Amino acid sequence: MSLVITSEPSSSTPVRRRQRRLARAAAASVVLASAGLAAPASADVPEGWSNPDDVDMLYALLLLAGVPLLLFVVIVGLTYLPALVRGEKLMPGSADDQWFGGPRQGAKEIEAGAHADETGGARGSW
């Protein structure tokens, strides 16, 4: 039994060379056309339009960075201020249980003074 190896046509055939040249020409024309379209406009300011002064860099930084930072500080303050006024501890790990909207002293307040009938909850049995 003999093994026959067929080789594919060489990539240097005239047809393949012509296809590569056409592809390169198409890519070059797309690049040149897009470069012409992306050129900056050279028109003057239309009549009747104002020509504003340049914006100061410090003013732009205050406006674009200072205002969001100020809003962040105000929101954080409004979030934490009520808890600080009540004297709650806000450090991570200071409270083991989190009960939002529950008694201020946590579950200890319910266990100490409330009756079972007043606490609510599910009383189902299996």
User: Can you tell me the mean pLDDT for 20-39?
Assistant: 81
Interacting residues of 51 by C-beta distance below 8 A, sequence separation 6+: 45
Structure tokens at 92: 């991570």
Tell which wins on pLDDT, 95 or 124. 124
Q: Tell me, yes or no, if the pTM score tops 0.75.
A: no
76: number of CA atoms within 13 Å, CB side? 7
User: What is the CA 35 to chain-centroid distance, rounded?
Assistant: 31
Helix (H, G, I), strand (E, B) or coil at 88: coil
User: Can you tell me the mean pLDDT for 13-23?
Assistant: 88
